[in-house]
Amino acid sequence: MLREKLKDYNVILASGSPRRQEFFKDLNIDFTIELKEVAEVYPKELKGCEITDFLADLKSKAFTNLSEKDLLITSDTIVWLDGKALGKPKNAADAFSMLSALSGKKHEVITSISIKSKYFQKIISDTTIVSFNNITDEEINYYIKNYKPFDKAGAYGIQEWIGLIGINNIEGSYFNVVGLPVHKLYKELMNL
């Protein structure tokens, strides 16, 4: 269905995330992957989805020569805890610090998507509330050692071991926590 809708577009996914790429395959979209280095720096006064909107847009601005048929998809995800954004951990100590902070608390996972052509741009976002059980230092260390979550906002993947044992409730889209609010992306692409 979506493949037919997008047949006149050259869909470009600007993401190295294997999870996002898998979602595009599952949606049966013909797409190519193009990556450009972008320093993911945002103004410090931004909060919550303002950050992810800004970063999704910033990533799209790296593509300066879109053709008439190009449809560029960029996105960004953060974990929002106690008024602070948790991005990807720099190392094991950073991952441990993030997971310790998430233990026993609720946080928000916020993802923004930029859909951009030569003629228009639309940015959409989604927020999911995730509740963690109390997790022990031993469990955190086991997860970091075995799953190396350094490419994930907040240092965890809900679909991995830590999600199985640590998450007791979510309010909103599971797929948003994995890395893309697929239901919202689908709706926007069908409305093109």
Which pLDDT value is given to residue 71? 98
Which pLDDT value is given to residue 128? 98
pLDDT in tens, 53-73: 999 999 999 999 999 999 999
* Angle (deg, nearest 10), helices 137-147 and 92-102: 130
pLDDT in tens, 151-163: 999 999 999 999 9
Q: Which of 26, 53, 57, 76 is catalytic?
A: 76
What CATH number does the domain containing 178 carry? 3.90.950.10
pTM value > 0.75: yes
| pLDDT classification of 137: cutoffs 50, 70, 90 | very high
pLDDT in tens, 10-47: 999 999 999 999 999 999 999 999 999 999 999 999 99
pLDDT in tens, 58-117: 999 999 999 999 999 999 999 999 999 999 999 999 999 999 999 999 999 999 999 999
- Number of domains comprising the chain: 1
In order of 33, 62, 71, 112, 145, the CA distances from 189 in angstroms are 17, 22, 10, 15, 39
Alpha helices in the chain (DSSP H): 2-5, 18-26, 49-61, 92-102, 137-147, 161-166, 174-178, 182-190
- Whole domain around residue 121: which residue ranges? 2-190
Cα(77)–Cα(86) distance, rounded to whole angstroms?
9
Q: Is 8 a catalytic residue?
A: no
